[in-house]
């Protein structure tokens, strides 16, 4: 979900600049201020595409706001952050699924989310509590978590970019997970509270819910146990967590993430190298994709995601079978001679990025 020049929130942007030694390109097709997934009367908006409800856009999702992100949001006293900060304060005051780890998803929300088949982009009742109705924007934009920070409905480089963002999501999630635990340790939550916060066995998704869960209220005893010495001082705890994390360099975050985060980092760097390359493979073949033909002989192709279909003209569609694994330069020459079509390098790259053509090397 992208609004400004950097596709990432400031803290994650700084870390990734250190990790990748280069800025991450923006995703300008995800035009959140004028949502690219909301139907318009404009010509070119296809009846075949998937559309989201303008009252929710893609924010039919409740993210976990990790303790240090909550702290960053509480510390942001700029006027434009005020509406979002109020949504965070309201959740802390309500106490539902509020733990020293952060603001988590209430059990009822989890249950509903797992049971509704087409909630995403559609079910207004599943809308994120940090969505600001006025202006239809995210209230926690500057400290949104990894899922929201790395999800885009449309990607400039299609499947290739999807691989990068998926890898980055994993890396940031691992970082969030370890940092939230690290904050809890640094802030001396105490062993009894830790025991309550991190049970020996995670509750299974099918575990029965308590009455308090259904009523969307916090059970006072469980709540007190989890917060230990910090009960009643939750906002201060979150602020301290935010202060602990905000100055950390990426090298420290990587160290705290352990081997799993370090492996994830290598895979992000690898995906970023491929995303940064515009080379065209020396041998290509046409991939198998879903397509819906247009009356003019062109088609809408669904490749890596239904939210980002690719429209191809009849002329381009007709030359795809030429790509059968022979050297790309020879195929391009043959298309030029037999069909009079100039298959340019940017067009080839686009077909590869979106998985219409695949590397046959």
> Which residues of this protein are in contact with ligand SF4, per CB under 6 A?
1, 30-32, 35-37, 52, 57-59, 61, 63, 128, 130-131, 138, 140, 144, 148, 152-153
Q: 41 — phi, psi (to 5°)?
A: -90, 0
Pick the closer one to ligand SF4 by CB: 37 or 319: 37
Shortest distance in whole angstroms from residue 35 CB to ligand SF4: 3
Pick the closer one to ligand SF4 by CB: 105 or 311: 105
Shortest distance in whole angstroms from residue 292 CB to ligand SF4: 21
Distance CA 30, CA 144 (A): 16
Measured over the CA atoms of residue 311, residue 312, residue 313 and residue 314, the dihedral's sign is negative
Distance set, CA 347 to CA 46, 157, 357 (Å) = 22, 12, 11
Shortest distance in whole angstroms from residue 29 CB to ligand SF4: 8
Please say whether the beta carbons of 7 and 21 come within 8 A: no
Shortest distance in whole angstroms from residue 65 CB to ligand SF4: 8
Shortest distance in whole angstroms from residue 203 CB to ligand SF4: 24
Distance CA 332, CA 340 (A): 10
Pick the closer one to ligand SF4 by CB: 57 or 181: 57
**Helix, strand, coil share (%) of the chain residues, nearest 5:** 50, 10, 40
At CB < 8 A and 24+ separation, what contacts does 22-25 make? 22/272, 22/276, 24/272, 25/156, 25/275
Instruction: Report residue 52 as tokens.
Output: 């989201």
Pick the closer one to ligand SF4 by CB: 35 or 299: 35
Q: Report helix angle 67-75 to 82-94, nearest 10.
A: 130
Shortest distance in whole angstroms from residue 26 CB to ligand SF4: 12
Shortest distance in whole angstroms from residue 85 CB to ligand SF4: 13
Shortest distance in whole angstroms from residue 220 CB to ligand SF4: 28
What burial letters (b/e) apply to 128-154, b meaning 16+ CB within 10 Å? bbbbbeeebbbbbbbbbbbebbbbbbb
Pick the closer one to ligand SF4 by CB: 165 or 272: 165
Pick the closer one to ligand SF4 by CB: 113 or 317: 113
Pick the closer one to ligand SF4 by CB: 126 or 331: 126
Q: 28 — phi, psi (to 5°)?
A: -70, -15
Pick the closer one to ligand SF4 by CB: 113 or 263: 113
Please say whether the beta carbons of 359 and 281 come within 8 A: yes
Distance CA 74, CA 164 (A): 31
Pick the closer one to ligand SF4 by CB: 269 or 305: 305
Shortest distance in whole angstroms from residue 214 CB to ligand SF4: 23
Instruction: Report residue 333 as tokens.
Output: 């020459």
Instruction: Report residue 5 as tokens.
Output: 């020049």
Shortest distance in whole angstroms from residue 130 CB to ligand SF4: 4
Distance CA 88, CA 82 (A): 10
Pick the closer one to ligand SF4 by CB: 148 or 174: 148
């Amino acid at each position: 979900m992208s609004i400004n020049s950097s596709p990432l929130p400031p803290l994650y942007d700084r870390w990734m600049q250190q990790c990748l030694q280069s800025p991450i390109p923006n995703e300008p097709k995800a035009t959140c201020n004028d949502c690219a997934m909301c139907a318009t009367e404009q010509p070119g908006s296809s009846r075949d595409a998937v559309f989201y409800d303008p009252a929710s856009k893609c924010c039919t999702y409740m993210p976990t706001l990790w303790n240090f992100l909550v702290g960053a949001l509480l510390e942001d006293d700029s006027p434009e952050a005020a509406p979002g900060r109020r949504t965070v304060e309201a959740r802390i005051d309500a106490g539902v699924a509020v733990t020293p780890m952060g603001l988590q998803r209430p059990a009822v929300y989890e249950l509903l989310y797992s049971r509704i088949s087409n909630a995403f982009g559609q079910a207004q009742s599943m809308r994120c509590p940090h969505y600001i109705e006025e202006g239809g924007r995210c209230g926690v934009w500057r400290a949104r978590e990894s899922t929201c920070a790395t999800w885009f409905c449309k990607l400039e480089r299609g499947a290739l970019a999807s691989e990068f963002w998926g890898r980055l999501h994993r890396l940031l999630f691992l970082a969030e997970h370890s940092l939230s635990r690290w904050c809890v340790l640094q802030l001396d939550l105490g062993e009894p509270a830790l025991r309550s916060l991190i049970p020996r066995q995670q509750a299974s998704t099918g575990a029965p819910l308590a009455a308090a869960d259904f009523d969307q209220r916090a059970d006072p005893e469980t709540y007190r146990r989890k917060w230990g010495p910090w009960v009643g001082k939750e906002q201060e705890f979150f602020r301290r967590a935010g202060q602990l994390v905000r100055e950390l360099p990426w090298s420290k975050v990587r160290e705290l993430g352990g081997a799993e985060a370090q492996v994830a980092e290598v895979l992000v760097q690898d995906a970023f190298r491929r995303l940064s390359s515009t080379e065209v493979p020396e041998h290509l073949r046409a991939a198998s994709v879903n397509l819906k033909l247009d009356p003019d002989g062109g088609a809408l192709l669904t490749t890596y995601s239904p939210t980002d279909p690719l429209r191809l003209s009849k002329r381009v569609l007709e030359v795809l079978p030429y790509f059968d694994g022979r050297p790309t330069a020879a195929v391009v020459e043959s298309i030029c001679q037999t069909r009079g079509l100039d298959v340019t390098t940017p067009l080839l790259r686009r077909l590869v990025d979106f998985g219409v053509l695949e590397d046959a090397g």
